Amino acid sequence: MAYNWDWGVFLQPTASGDDTYLGWMIYGFKMTIGLSLAAWVLALLIGALVGVLRTVPNKWLSGIATAWVELFRNIPLLVQLFLWYFVLPELLPESLGNAYKQSNPVVQQFLAALLCLALFTSARVAEQVRSGIHSLPPGQKNAGLAMGFTLPQTYRFVLLPMAFRIVVPPLTSEFLNIFKNSAVCSTIGLLELAAQGRQLVDYTAQPYESFIAVTLAYLIINVVVMFGMRWVEARVRVPGYIGGK
């Protein structure tokens, strides 16, 4: 295959003259990290709450939590993104919707992407948390209640401290996934890492250099997350219990 390699392309000024192509990649890198971390924090909070609610005895609460999980888990990520970005503003009252649509597009794209990723991932986190709670022997909950703890106290002091430790490894996968899923947001024009990579291809006609750079950037993110989570796992493990020594 006749291909004209040119790694120097990253240092060239961009066609619009505002930056170098490397600058674009760094902007995309920051956008991916900012978006994914923000979405991850939201997903953890919502997911933990929903996951706990799925295991409580109250039928209404667990029903709502189940509906939440099934809704956000079963609609494809891309469809959810389009719903947040294209459909939601149309449902607002017209004047408000128009004002929103005329606002800064990056803010609009970021908000839609954030909501989409956070809620999609929250459903998955909720399932991990639920499975963590269910993996504990039922005796633990009964023991907590027998000790005179209320149900919330039993969750807080007996069940959740163990359940969260158990689900650290599957949560690591979700954490890695959220970075990779964020690439979907390039479809609404958010200039994150994947979008910048594609843009570089368009502007420089050097697809291989661009995609290799993007791949390496994702690899760096994932390696950092993986080692970070391994460190967390080691830090929080309980000696003599699951995963402990």
Partner 1 sequence: MNKTCTRFAVTALTAALLAAPAFAQETGTLKKIKDTGTISLGHRESSIPFSYYDDKQQVIGYSHEMMLKAVEAVKAELKLAKLDVRLMPVTSANRITLVQNGSVDLECGSTTNNLERQKQVAFSDTIFIIGTRLMTKKTSGINDFPDLAGKNVVTTAGTTSERLLRKMNEEKQMKMNVISAKDHGEAFLTLETGRAVAFMMDDALLFGEMAKAKKPGDWTVVGTPQSFEAYGCMMRKDDPAFKKVVDAALAKAMTSGEAEKIYQKWFQQPIPPKGLNLGFPLSDAMKALYKAPNDKAFD
4 binds partner 1, rule: CB under 8 A: yes
Burial class (CB in 10 A: 0-12, 13-18, 19+), 3: exposed
User: CB 116: neighbour CB atoms within 10 A?
Assistant: 26
Residue 13, SS3 per DSSP: strand
Q: Which of 25, 178, 195, 217 touches partner 1 by CB under 8 A?
A: 195
Rule CB under 8 A: is residue 32 a binding residue for partner 1?
no
Question: With binding defined as CB under 8 A, does residue 106 bind partner 1?
Answer: yes
Residues 117, 181 contacting (CB under 8 angstroms): yes
Least Å distance, CB 1 to partner 1, is 6
Residue 234 interacts with partner 1 (CB under 8 A): yes or no: no
Q: What CA–CA distance (Å, rounded) separates 35 from 192?
A: 9
CB atoms within 10 A of CB 175: 22
Nearest to 122 by CA among 77, 165, 86: 77
Q: Which is nearer to partner 1, 34 or 207 (CB)?
A: 207
Looking at 40-48, 100-108, 122-130, 233-241, which segment touches partner 1 (CB under 8 A)? 100-108
Pick 66 or 204: Cβ nearer partner 1: 204
Using rule CB under 8 A, residue 5 touches partner 1? no
Q: How far apart are CA 67 and CA 120, in angstroms?
A: 13
Residue from 8, 63, 76, 105 touching partner 1 (CB under 8 A): that is 105
- The footprint of partner 1 (CB under 8 A) covers 1-4, 15-18, 86, 89-90, 97-98, 101-102, 104-106, 108, 186-187, 189, 191, 195, 198-199, 201-207
